[in-house]
């Protein structure tokens, strides 16, 4: 009976950090808070307290303590937050002390947000936004996630639904009330078409995935073109920060990094050539697939071997050797001297920016885009319907697509997928 | 001892009584006056868009209304002919006297015993209904169906005049209504309107557009035992700007309109005042002039329900083409009546807190003969089930308009008189007036509530689906037309199926589910949805609240 259990976890500020926040949520939260801090402040007021071990009385830390009363907390339950000094020893001691309290147990990954969702504090799109927010590594990611978590998408969907309702009302009136056997009022299909176009425009916008998972930049070319050296040179650049994105499988060389605030996953590939060696052939095939899936392609071969990719940066590698002509449109780069690397990164950055959502814009994720797409198709059907009944049906299907978007229907489908993304303590 | 006692012999009561009898129950039908059975209190027509669908579905279960309508038909029209077949609405105008006679005949053949008298109180024992107390007698029984319509103290309004009484000087059953209130079946008041009745001899028919009956023969009932009557012509006319001006000048003198619902407003317009106000850009509203009978001079102007004062009604009638010299025989009026909150009922129309008591008809807040009759069928079938320990008969909103109506009433309750419209059915493309037998035939046969003749008729119709000529039939063509849309709906269906599989335990305390506002808690408590899918249809329940409910229900079930 999970519901009765009170959970706790380090919620942010993994040591060493300036401040580490430990959250407690559940029916015993206040009792636990009192056990460790003696006295809790008023609801939503911060106060300094000495944290002491409930049994031994040993002083653990001077901390700032906050208290929240259900349902006015982020989880909807009684909650306590301990803002401790972020030293490893302190945090370990506080966590250990809480473990010993009756009725408390460590939170599972994503459990706090799950409770917020279960207690009706946030809806599905907001929960998705929160998931993104927690995983945000870069500023751009944070802003996009925040827009979502703050209900930005929910508001847009609400606006669309309002319009749909208006159109549906018009169609239904024609069916149930117009005894005149008249033809469809042309304003209706037109409005359907307009709304469909607006949805399509949203679908054209960059999705959240490149921002959230990193823009996929792939380096490809024939063998010995200097791909690996180039990666090393790039990684050594000042403006490039190698980050650590947990959970990604790296069975090929993939470097996650932040390029001027944009998350990028730089991938090396096998040299492209004809081969009878089986293992190498697998690598070449994989390289082909990676190139197809790339958001940006850095191509180190001759132009005539170039792939048909919308965002290619052609590189003339090893330009310090001066052993061949620099082809027009190619960027001369030397991993040895560092020449051209800066210009290369600038070019890559330009492309990457077109692939990620604009700042402060609300970006759709794969799931959401799917439903918006369904709605757009239904509205296009409605716009071309020659019978008001089929027009009304198109509108109805669009409304249902939005219902699934917000989680009003098809809940089971989304819950597990959503909460598997959460990490501990959030 | 009676198995089922039905109180009230209106459209709902007659269907309930005969349906119960068809399932083998011994049925008593109570009425104040013998002549009341089959009485059409205002509009002399049966069917329409949505309403016609209900009548066809009722007919599959061997209901009376379709057959009586065919026998008394003086005009037939399939509405919405120019639109898709899903919304074709068969409509029949009936001769009042002939309709009543037809219902009387069908009642006679049914084995239902007519009991003339007044039901004073329900007899209850240990929280169950066990009989009815009459002025002269006490009648024990196993189930009671309450189909009393507007008996609960109706009032009529014409402009500023208020007239007491339900339907034309009927005595109101006071002790019974008090008991209903005491039981706590949460009543409210609703208003609906009727148009003035005109003397057809003062109508200038010559200048008006004719509306002849459909030449194609179709019938309301699938059983071909109709008597074809001489078809009468109806006429069409329209309101004019002058009419609208008159109405606008007198908005405040119309009790129907003056008491309009705040906020969202009623989604349909019972009165001409409402139409003029809400669709202000329309220059004219259509009116159908419908004769009330073969030998009756009265004409029913369909489309100008009103409760404006008498003299205003006279003015507005005279401003309509063809009616410049028309005499009003009976002014239009608004009827205000009490009703019971249908959220007290489960989907078999039984009162949740009082097993054995079933409610159907206008008492549940609906308006229209067809809506009443369809509920009567459901209540009667299930009252018999309760009395004789048979299977309940449930209607699903995915396969019938009857299901849509019952689901809407019992989950959402009523804030304005509930009238059937095709807009209410999300599966409208599958629920057509021409395919009721295909949709419900098997269900009717399984419920063992149809005559031998009907059984053969259903089986024949179902067998037709396999015949080579099928794709050329009207139903076959319509099926083909909508097939791709229906297929797409199937996928949505699956999503709903999953949500329908999440049962909400009856023991769930909504007040303890976090994240639900007080208002949501009240609505959920009143409606008591059985599944998550039903809960999603309760007005005001947000997606966030739904997830909270989902989790609470899952936990309770897992515990």
A101 to chain B, closest Cα gap in Å: 25
In a domain, B171, yes or no: no
Contact A123 B496 (CB under 8 A): no
Query: Which residues 215-244 on chain A approach chain B with CB closer than 8 angstroms?
Result: none
Is the domain of B488 the same as that of B534? Answer: no
Query: Which residues 164-223 on chain A approach chain B with CB closer than 8 angstroms?
Result: 168, 172, 174-177, 179-183
Residue A50: both structure tokens together = 């000495």
| Cβ atoms within 10 Å, residue B344 | 23
- Total domain count, chain B: 4
Q: Please check whether residue A154 touches B, CB under 8 A.
A: no
| Cβ atoms within 10 Å, residue B452 | 7
Q: Regarding predicted confidence, which is higher, B196 or A417?
A: B196
Q: What is the pLDDT of residue B414?
A: 86
A376 to chain B, closest Cα gap in Å: 15
**Could you tell me if residue B168 is left (phi over 0), alpha (psi between -120 and 50 degrees) or otherwise beta?**
left
Tell me which chain B residue has its CA closest to the CA of residue A184. Answer: B83
Is the domain of B282 the same as that of B422? Answer: no
Residue A425: both structure tokens together = 């303590």
Contact A1 B422 (CB under 8 A): no
Handedness of CA A354, A360, A364, A365 (dihedral sign): positive
Handedness of CA A144, A149, A155, A156 (dihedral sign): positive
In a domain, B424, yes or no: yes
Q: Please check whether residue A123 touches B, CB under 8 A.
A: yes
Identify all chain A residues contacting B86, using CB atoms and an 8 Å cutoff: 389
pLDDT tens track for A220-274 = 888 777 787 888 888 876 555 555 444 333 445 778 787 877 888 888 887 777 7
Question: What distance in Å separates the CA atoms of residue B43 and residue B302, rounded to the nearest whole number?
Answer: 8
Strand-pair partners of A36: none
In a domain, B248, yes or no: yes
Is the domain of B437 the same as that of B319? Answer: no
| Cβ atoms within 10 Å, residue A232 | 10
Within 13 Å and on the Cβ side, how many CA atoms surround A4?
5
Identify all chain A residues contacting B510, using CB atoms and an 8 Å cutoff: none
Identify all chain A residues contacting B422, using CB atoms and an 8 Å cutoff: 172, 175-176
Tell me the helices (H) and strands (E) count for chain B, helix number first. Answer: 17, 20
In a domain, B551, yes or no: yes
Chosen from A179, A183, A415 to mutate, greatest number of chain B CBs within 10 A: A179
- Among B50, B543, B551, select the one facing A407 at the smallest CB separation: B543
E strands, B135-219, in order: 138-146, 155-158, 161-164, 187-193, 197-199, 209-211
Q: Count of CB contacts below 8 A, A vs B?
A: 116
Q: What is the pLDDT of residue A134?
A: 61
Q: Please check whether residue A390 touches B, CB under 8 A.
A: yes
Q: Are A167 and A192 in contact (CB under 8 A)?
A: yes
> Closest by alpha carbon to B44, among B73, B84, B71, B67?
B73
Question: What integer is the mean pLDDT of A138-166?
Answer: 75
Q: Using DSSP bridges, classify how beta strands B334-340 and B187-193 pair: parallel, antiparallel or unpaired.
A: antiparallel
pLDDT tens track for A88-122 = 888 989 999 999 898 898 887 677 877 887 777 77
Contact A180 B286 (CB under 8 A): yes
Rg for chain B, CA atoms, rounded = 24
3-state secondary structure at position B112: coil
In a domain, B363, yes or no: yes
Q: What is the pLDDT of residue A363?
A: 79
Q: Please check whether residue A338 touches B, CB under 8 A.
A: no
Domain end among B419, B446, B473? B446
Identify all chain B residues contacting A154, using CB atoms and an 8 Å cutoff: none
**Could you tell me if residue B257 is left (phi over 0), alpha (psi between -120 and 50 degrees) or otherwise beta?**
alpha
pLDDT tens track for A162-210 = 888 888 878 887 787 765 656 678 888 999 999 999 999 999 888 877 8
Q: Please check whether residue A424 touches B, CB under 8 A.
A: no
Question: What distance in Å separates the CA atoms of residue B87 and residue B79, rounded to the nearest whole number?
Answer: 8
Identify all chain B residues contacting A172, using CB atoms and an 8 Å cutoff: 421-423
Domain end among B333, B364, B387? B333
Identify all chain A residues contacting B79, using CB atoms and an 8 Å cutoff: 179
Question: What distance in Å separates the CA atoms of residue B141 and residue B123, rounded to the nearest whole number?
Answer: 10
Contact A408 B488 (CB under 8 A): no
Q: Regarding predicted confidence, which is higher, A149 or B282?
A: B282
Handedness of CA A189, A195, A201, A204 (dihedral sign): negative
Is the domain of B13 the same as that of B126? Answer: yes
Is the domain of B71 the same as that of B107? Answer: yes
Q: Please check whether residue A155 touches B, CB under 8 A.
A: no
B536: domain CATH number is: 1.10.150.570
Structural domains of chain A, ranges and CATH numbers in brackets: 2-107 (3.30.1360.120), 152-206+363-419 (1.20.120.430), 213-355 (3.40.50.300)
Is the domain of B52 the same as that of B125? Answer: yes
Identify all chain B residues contacting A409, using CB atoms and an 8 Å cutoff: 495-496, 499, 536
The whole-chain average pLDDT of chain A stands at 80
Is the domain of B486 the same as that of B518? Answer: no
Contact B423 A122 (CB under 8 A): no
Per-residue pLDDT of chain B (559 residues; tens, 9 = 90+): 999 999 999 999 999 999 999 999 999 999 888 777 767 766 788 999 999 999 999 999 999 999 999 998 888 889 888 888 999 999 999 888 889 999 999 999 999 999 998 888 999 999 899 999 998 889 999 999 999 886 666 677 888 887 765 555 555 556 787 888 888 886 777 777 789 999 999 999 999 988 888 877 788 999 866 666 667 778 999 999 999 999 999 988 887 666 543 322 344 556 788 888 877 788 888 898 988 888 888 999 988 988 899 999 999 999 999 999 999 999 998 877 778 999 999 999 999 989 999 999 999 999 889 999 999 999 999 999 999 999 999 999 889 999 999 999 998 888 778 889 888 888 889 999 999 999 999 999 999 999 999 999 999 999 999 889 899 898 999 999 999 888 877 766 666 666 677 778 888 888 888 767 788 888 888 888 888 878 888 877 776 677 778 778 877 776 6
Q: What is the pLDDT of residue A422?
A: 45
Question: What distance in Å separates the CA atoms of residue B495 and residue B426, rounded to the nearest whole number?
Answer: 14
Identify all chain A residues contacting B502, using CB atoms and an 8 Å cutoff: 412
Instruction: Concatenate the DSSP letters of all residues of A188-244 into one string.
Output: HHHHHHHHHHHHHHHHHSPPHHHHHH-EEEEEE-STTSSHHHHHHHHHHSTTEEE--
B48 to chain A, closest Cα gap in Å: 9
Q: What is the pLDDT of residue A240?
A: 58
Domain extent for B408: 2-152+341-446
Is the domain of B285 the same as that of B354? Answer: no
Is the domain of B417 the same as that of B492? Answer: no
Contact B544 A181 (CB under 8 A): no
**Angstrom distances, CA of residue B62 to CA of B16, B55, B412, B441:** 12, 10, 29, 10
Contact B514 A77 (CB under 8 A): yes
Question: What distance in Å separates the CA atoms of residue B13 and residue B303, rounded to the nearest whole number?
Answer: 28
**ipTM of predicted complex:** 0.77
* The 3-state secondary structure of B225-290, one letter per residue: CCCCCCCCCEEEEECCHHHHHHHHHCHHHCHHHHCCCCCCCCCCCCCHHHHHHHCCCCCCCEEEEE
Is the domain of B238 the same as that of B286? Answer: yes
Q: Which helix (H) or strand (E) holds B382?
A: helix B369-388
Q: Regarding predicted confidence, which is higher, B216 or A140?
A: B216
In a domain, B250, yes or no: yes
Contact A388 B84 (CB under 8 A): yes
B364 to chain A, closest Cα gap in Å: 22
Q: What is the pLDDT of residue B157?
A: 81
Report the length, in residues, of chain B.
559
E strands, A86-194, in order: 104-106
Residue A408: both structure tokens together = 């009003």
A287 to chain B, closest Cα gap in Å: 38
Give the contacts of A62 (CB within 8 A, at least 6 positions apart).
Answer: A48, A49, A50, A51, A85
Contact A117 B84 (CB under 8 A): no
- Among A3, A176, A387, select the one facing B423 at the smallest CB separation: A176
Q: Are B306 and B332 in contact (CB under 8 A)?
A: yes
Contact B485 A390 (CB under 8 A): yes
Q: What is the pLDDT of residue B269?
A: 52
Query: Which residues 66-105 on chain A approach chain B with CB closer than 8 angstroms?
Result: 70-71, 76-77
B76: domain CATH number is: 3.50.50.60
Identify all chain A residues contacting B87, using CB atoms and an 8 Å cutoff: 175-176, 389
Contact B514 A119 (CB under 8 A): yes
A120 to chain B, closest Cα gap in Å: 4
Give the contacts of B84 (CB within 8 A, at least 6 positions apart).
Answer: A387, A388, A389, A390, B481, B482
In a domain, B360, yes or no: yes
The b/e string for B272-310 (b: 16+ C-beta within 10 A; e otherwise) is: bbbbbbeeeeeeebebbbbbbbeeeebbbbbbbbbbbbb
Is the domain of B329 the same as that of B345? Answer: no
Q: Are B120 and B178 in contact (CB under 8 A)?
A: no
What does DSSP assign to residue A75?
S
**Angstrom distances, CA of residue A206 to CA of A133, A353, A421:** 18, 10, 21
Domain end among B304, B333, B362? B333
B82 to chain A, closest Cα gap in Å: 6
In a domain, B430, yes or no: yes
Give the contacts of B404 (CB within 8 A, at least 6 positions apart).
Answer: B397, B420, B424, B425, B431
B243 to chain A, closest Cα gap in Å: 19
Chosen from A175, A182, A419 to mutate, greatest number of chain B CBs within 10 A: A175
Question: What distance in Å separates the CA atoms of residue A275 and residue A286, rounded to the nearest whole number?
Answer: 14
Tell me which chain B residue has its CA closest to the CA of residue A172. Answer: B423
Contact A179 B288 (CB under 8 A): yes
Is the domain of B229 the same as that of B298? Answer: yes
Q: Using DSSP bridges, classify how beta strands A312-316 and A79-85 pair: parallel, antiparallel or unpaired.
A: unpaired
């Amino acid at each position: 009976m999970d519901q009765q259990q009170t959970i706790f976890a380090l919620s942010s500020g993994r040591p060493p950090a300036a401040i580490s926040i430990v959250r407690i949520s559940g029916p015993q939260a206040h009792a636990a808070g009192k056990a460790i801090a003696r006295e809790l402040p008023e609801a939503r007021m911060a106060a300094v307290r000495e944290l002491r071990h409930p049994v031994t009385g040993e002083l653990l830390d001077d901390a700032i303590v906050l208290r929240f009363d259900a349902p006015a907390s982020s989880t909807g339950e009684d909650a306590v937050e301990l803002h401790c000094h972020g030293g490893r020893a302190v945090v370990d001691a506080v966590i250990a002390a809480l473990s010993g309290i009756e009725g408390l147990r460590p939170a599972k990954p994503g459990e706090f947000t799950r409770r917020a969702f279960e207690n009706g504090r946030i809806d599905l799109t907001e929960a998705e936004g929160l998931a993104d927010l927690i995983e945000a590594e870069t500023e751009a990611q944070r802003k996009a996630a925040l827009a979502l978590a703050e209900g930005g998408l929910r508001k847009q969907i609400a606006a669309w639904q309002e319009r749909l309702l208006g159109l549906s009302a018009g169609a239904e009136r024609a069916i149930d009330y117009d005894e005149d056997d008249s033809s469809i009022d042309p304003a209706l299909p037109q409005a359907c078409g307009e709304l469909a176009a607006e949805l399509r425009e949203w679908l054209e916008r960059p999705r959240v995935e490149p921002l959230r998972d990193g823009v996929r930049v792939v380096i490809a070319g024939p063998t010995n073109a200097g791909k690996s050296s180039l990666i090393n040179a790039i990684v050594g650049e000042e403006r490039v920060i190698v980050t650590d994105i947990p959970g990604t499988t790296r069975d090929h060389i993939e470097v996650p990094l932040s390029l001027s605030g944009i998350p990028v996953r730089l991938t090396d590939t096998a040299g492209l050539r004809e081969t009878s060696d089986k293992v190498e052939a697998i690598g070449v095939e994989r390289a082909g697939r990676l190139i197809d899936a790339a958001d940006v392609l850095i191509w180190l071969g001759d132009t005539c071997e170039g792939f048909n990719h919308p965002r290619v940066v052609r590189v003339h590698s090893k330009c310090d050797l001066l052993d061949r002509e620099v082809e027009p449109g190619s960027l001369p780069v030397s991993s040895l001297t560092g020449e051209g690397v800066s210009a290369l990164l600038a070019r890559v950055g330009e492309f990457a920016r077109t692939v990620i959502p604009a700042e402060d814009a609300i970006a759709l994720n794969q799931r959401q885009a799917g439903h918006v797409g369904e709605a757009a198709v239904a509205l296009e059907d409605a716009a071309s319907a020659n019978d008001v009944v089929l027009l009304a049906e198109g509108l109805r299907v669009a409304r249902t697509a939005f219902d699934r978007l917000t989680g009003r229907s098809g809940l089971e489908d989304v819950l597990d997928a959503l909460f598997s993304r959460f990490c501990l303590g959030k | 001892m009676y198995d089922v006692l039905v109180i009230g012999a209106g459209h709902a009561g007659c269907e309930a009584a005969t349906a119960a009898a068809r399932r083998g129950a011994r049925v008593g039908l109570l009425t104040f006056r013998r002549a009341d059975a089959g009485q059409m209190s205002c509009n002399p027509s049966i069917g329409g868009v949505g309403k016609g669908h209900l009548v066809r579905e009722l007919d599959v279960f061997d209901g009376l209304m379709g057959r009586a309508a065919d026998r008394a038909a003086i005009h037939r029209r399939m509405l919405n002919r120019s639109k898709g077949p899903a919304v074709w609405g068969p409509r029949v105008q009936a001769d009042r006297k002939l309709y009543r006679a037809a219902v009387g005949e069908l009642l006679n053949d049914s084995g239902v015993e007519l009991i003339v008298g007044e039901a004073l109180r329900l007899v209850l024992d240990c929280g169950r209904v066990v009989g009815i107390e009459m002025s002269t007698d006490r009648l024990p029984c196993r189930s009671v169906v309450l189909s009393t319509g507007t008996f609960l103290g109706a009032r009529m309004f014409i402009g500023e005049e208020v007239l007491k009484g339900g339907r034309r000087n009927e005595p109101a059953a006071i002790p019974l209504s008090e008991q209903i209130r005491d039981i706590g079946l949460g009543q409210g008041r609703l208003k609906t309107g009727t148009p003035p009745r005109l003397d057809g001899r003062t109508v200038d028919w010559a200048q008006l557009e004719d509306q002849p009956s459909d030449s194609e023969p179709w019938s309301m009932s699938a059983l071909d035992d109709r008597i074809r009557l001489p078809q009468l012509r109806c006429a069409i006319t329209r309101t004019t700007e002058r009419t609208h001006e008159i109405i606008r000048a007198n908005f405040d003198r119309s009790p129907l309109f003056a008491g309009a619902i705040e906020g969202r407003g009623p989604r349909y317009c019972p009165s001409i005042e409402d139409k003029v106000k809400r669709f202000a850009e329309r220059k004219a509203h259509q009116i159908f002039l419908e004769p009330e009978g073969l030998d009756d001079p009265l004409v029913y102007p369909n489309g100008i329900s009103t409760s404006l004062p008498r003299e205003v009604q006279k003015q507005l009638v005279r401003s309509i083409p063809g009616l410049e010299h028309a005499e009003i025989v009976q002014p239009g009026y608004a009827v205000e009546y009490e009703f019971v909150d249908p959220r007290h009922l489960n989907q078999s129309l039984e009162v949740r807190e009082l097993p054995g008591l079933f409610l159907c008809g206008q008492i549940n807040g609906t308006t229209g003969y067809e809506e009443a009759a369809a509920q009567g069928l459901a209540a009667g079938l299930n009252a018999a089930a309760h009395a004789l320990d048979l299977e309940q008969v449930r209607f699903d909103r995915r396969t019938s308009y009857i299901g849509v109506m019952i689901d809407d009433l019992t989950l959402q309750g009523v804030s304005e008189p509930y009238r059937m419209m095709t807009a209410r059915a999300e599966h409208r493309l599958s629920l057509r007036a021409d395919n009721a037998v295909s949709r419900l035939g098997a269900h009717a046969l399984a419920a063992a509530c149809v005559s031998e003749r009907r059984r053969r008729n259903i089986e024949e119709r179902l067998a037709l689906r396999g015949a080579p000529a099928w794709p050329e039939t009207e139903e076959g063509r319509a099926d083909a037309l909508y097939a791709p849309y229906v297929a797409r709906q199937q996928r949505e269906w699956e999503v709903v199926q999953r949500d329908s599989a999440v049962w909400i335990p009856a023991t769930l305390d909504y007040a303890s589910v976090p994240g639900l506002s007080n208002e949501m808690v009240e609505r959920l408590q009143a409606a008591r949805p059985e599944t998550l899918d039903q809960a999603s249809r309760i007005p005001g329940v947000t997606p966030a609240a739904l997830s909270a409910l989902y989790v609470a229900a899952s936990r309770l079930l897992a515990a």
